[in-house]
Structure 1
Amino acid sequence: MTPTTNTMNWQQVSRILFETDPMHTACKENDCFDEYDRVARGVIAEIENGVTLDGALEQVLGDWFGQELIESRDLAPVVEQLNTQQVGGGSR
Structure 2
Amino acid sequence: MTTTSIYQIIHQLMRLQTLPYANSTAVRGRQLQFDKLHAALDKRGYTGSRPSRQLKRMSVEVINAALYETDPMNTCCKENGLTEEYKTIASMVFQHIHHGMVMEAAIDQALCAIFGDHLVNGEQIERVMHELVGMSEG
The residue type equivalent to 1:68 in the other structure is: H
Q: Determine which of 23, 28, 44 is the counterpart of 2:94.
A: 44
Q: Determine which of 7, 13, 32 is the counterpart of 2:82.
A: 32
Equivalent residues of 1:23, 1:73 under 8 A apart: no
The residue type equivalent to 1:79 in the other structure is: M
Matched, 1:84 2:98: no
Q: Which whole-Å deviations, capped at 9, do the CAs of 1:29-54 have from their partners, x for residues lacking one?
A: 11111000000000000000000000
Matched, 1:23 2:73: yes
Query: Aligned residues: percent identity?
Result: 32
Summarize the Cα distance change of 1:38–1:19 in structure 2 as closer, same or farther, 3 Å threshold. same
> Normalized per residue, which structure has more helix?
2
Q: Which has the larger radius of gyration?
A: 2
Whole-angstrom CA distance in 2 between matches of 1:60 and 1:69 = 12
Hey, what does 1:75 align to over in structure 2?
Answer: 125
Whole-angstrom CA distance in 2 between matches of 1:71 and 1:17 = 14
Summarize the Cα distance change of 1:80–1:14 in structure 2 as closer, same or farther, 3 Å threshold. same
TM-score under structure 2 normalisation?
A: 0.56
Whole-angstrom CA distance in 1 between matches of 2:122 and 2:107 = 14
Q: Determine which of 88, 92, 107 is the counterpart of 1:57.
A: 107
Name stretches of at least 5 consecutive residues in structure 2 with no aligned partner.
Answer: 1-10, 21-56
Q: What is the aligned length?
A: 85
The residue type equivalent to 2:73 in the other structure is: M
Equivalent residues of 2:72, 2:127 under 8 A apart: no
SS of corresponding position for 1:84:
coil
- Deviation of 1:83 after TM superposition, in Å, equals 2.4
- Deviation of 1:71 after TM superposition, in Å, equals 3.0
